[in-house]
Structure formats: C-alpha cells, structure tokens
Chains A and B, each alone.
Chain A
C-alpha cells in the first residue's frame, strides 16, 4: 500500500535531463526522505510531485489515482500540501492571517479558519507571533510559518522542501520534534533535505538521487553504508565520517525517546 507513487518520471529542459526515469513510492504514515547532491534533480522531482511542473514522461499517483495532469491547487484540495525551499510568506499579512489562507481550504467561515489557524500555530510553536506581520519573522520563524500554512490545509501527504536548510543546529533540534509530531498525527511526510543528520534521524526510508537518477533506496542505516551513495553523493572518505555521525545521532534519538 502506498500513498504516493512516482512512476518512471522524466523531466527534460531542452537538452538537459533533470530527472531521468525516477520511480519511488511512499508508505502511508512514514517519513520518507529524498536526498542527493546539489543539482541532482531533487527540486525538479519535488516540483513535479507537487504539481508545479508537468513531467515530460511518467506518472504521479496519489492514493492510487493518477494526478499527473492535476493542477497544483487541485492537489492541495485532494490532500497534498507543500512548503517552499525559499520561504514564500504573504509578507504584508500577519502570521495568523497567513496560516488562515491555508485553513480556508477546508473552512469556509472566517471564524473557523482563524480558529484552525491558531490551533496549527500552536502545533508548530508560532503562538507568540500570531499577530506579527509575516515579514517580521526570523528565518526559523518563516520556516515554521511555511509548515503551519501547509498543515492548515489539512493534508494527508505533506511535501517538505528543505525546511531545515538555513537553520542553525539548535533551531534544527527544535524543529525535528515538530515534524515528528506531525507524522504522529497521521500525516505522511516526504522530505527533500540537505541536512544529513536530520534526514538520518527523521526518515524511515530514504531515496537518493544523483544526476537525475535514483541510485539507492532503503532505511537510513543502509543508505549511509551504500557505496554508490558514498561515491556519488558524499565523496571519498566521507563514509566513515557519516557512519560515525549516524551512530551518534542514533544514540541521541534514542536518548530523546527514552
């Protein structure tokens, strides 16, 4: 059973093949990671999945329904929400109004939408900033706002585009439990991410994209040891470093849960 399935997606820009015959599937209730070096085509694949670009060939299925030609706003209605890597706040609106735009998707009345927005704001830790203009938020605040707006649309599948990029280590530490809590509520998450430690500790399943092609798939521990990944993505000599780190994070995560 899968909630999202990408079948043989290829995306060409003129002569450039950004994504080459990529297939992946996301299990309901999981946090699935999509990683890869810069220019690997992660963002392009993400754009195709979220409906902001059409694939040249291939299909995207959501809950076994072909959504390849479904427009972005329709996908949101069906239950797919996305965030943006470069945060896109509605700058002149307040935080709560920003989130309410998302909440209006399932709540027609303003009072209901605002109530839902406040509830979601609490979930991501934005309650103290509710009435601030969005442009006054810090980078970390804006990342949370991205997350909150997407959540407010009531998604079953949440697509996160580098929500941790640009955050400092302590901000990342604060964000990770927020993402876990969203999953615990039953929202499936597909996360495109650069921040390796975070991906390793968050994800149940990871896909690795390099030069447009999927080169590996599996649980974090196996991905970290996969020689293809080490070669293509991390460069020589990085495998040991990563293993060491994965070990540490594993312990840290353990300690946290305990």
Chain B
C-alpha cells in the first residue's frame, strides 16, 4: 500500500467517524426521555422542576439542534466526549478503563478459534467425504445455528455449577475467569471458519500446482503445509479483521451473561440507563477501533503477500 492510499484510507475513516457521530447524535436528540430526569433518577433524587430547568440550561439542552451538535462536535475534537449521566465520570476515562478487558477477551477467543478451526478445517478437507469430514461438518453446522448466549449459560450450568471447575462470574480479567466467556465467543466463529477453511483447502487441492508438486514426488505433508496452507491462510487475514468487528459487537451478550467488566456490558447498562453521552462514546470508539484494525490488517496483508508488491 502506498503512502497515498494509506492517507486516503485514514481520510475515509475520519469521514465515516463524522457520519457516525452525526447519526448517533441525531438519534439521541430524537430519542424520547429526558436526560436530566434520567441523571437525577440515577442518583436517586427527584428535584423540583426549577432545579431541573437550571440544569438543562447549564447542560445546553435548551439550545437548538445545530448549536448542540456543533458544541458536541467541538468538544469531541478536543477529546472530550462529555460526562456519563449514570456514572458521573468523564466518558473517555470510563471507556478507557473498560477497553482493555474487551480487547483481551476478543483476542483470546480469536486465538482459541484459530487453534481449533485451522486444524479441523484442513483435516476435514484432506479427509473429504470420510468419517472425520462428516463429524467436523456436523460440529460446524451445530456451531452456526447455536445461539451464543444459550451456549454461554449452559456452559455456566455444566462447567461452573455442576462440576465447579471454573468460576461462574467473570468479574475480573484473570485467565481462569476468561476461559468460559472466550469459549462462548469463539464457538460460533470456529464453526464458520472451519467451513471456510475446509472450502478453501478443497479448492486449492484441485489446483494445477498441487498436481505438479505431487508429480514431482513431494511428500503429501510438504504439499499440504508448504504449498497449500500459505495460499489458504493469506485471504484469512482480511476475514479476521472483519470478524474482529463482529466480535467487538458480539461481546456485549457474552459480557452480560458472565458479568464481565468490558465495553459491551458497559454499553448495555448505558442503554438501559439512557446514558446518551456514554452510548455515543461507545459507538464512536468501537467504530474507530474497528476501522483502525482493518486498516492495519490491510497493510499487513500486503506485507505478507509477495504478489501484491510486484504489481
């Protein structure tokens, strides 16, 4: 990727962020409910109408939409996403605190997913239409249709409650407490990737270069691991970047089940409390992380694939 394309990608990210910012701000503007009331209710007090009016004026809630949007935008550009109504802390610091647990969980489940789906996918393709293939395909089919939240709760029931192997609640980020949430997150993805890898390996095995390698008398394992696998795994890099995004969103459900202190859990409680600054901040952050990671993935892809350098 040339410097110019990278620059244009970054520009694109900024434009998308502006769009998403406008969209979420517009939505919260149109949303029913009174943030001032919600804020006081969160603190457990019900002040008089006059006090709330003063507060509304102070928070700039009486200004027309363009003024409010413009003020919000200016403070966003200064890195200030406002103050959370329900937690009474700056949104940025709340988000920062929750960011690392979610990233950690996402990364762990991706590693788990790759560790299972790559060997299974390859095995399934090599043993095409044999017993192993059927078993793996059945497993991956189950994974695609299984609701992740149900799997999570069943895991809690069997592993944590019945056999008491692992803690029920994952309230901090110790490795042992991350196992169940990570498995829950990884399971449906593993199924999807196993299918994908199986299909890709099957396709590559029919390519001419594989026939050529075999006729040259190379060992089957050399053909598979030296020639086929690199070709299969490269396109996977881009897919991984995209999955990362759906994982960031998908963690919400899993984090709620396991009471895990991550971004998703925060977002769900923010929505429940009508904590608009926090929701806006969350949406913007996730969008930013997702797009930056995909940019890095695309750059890495070019570095990994020698063919793109020649062109």
**Are both chains from one complex?**
no
Partner-B contacts on A (CB < 8 A): none
Partner-A contacts on B (CB < 8 A): none
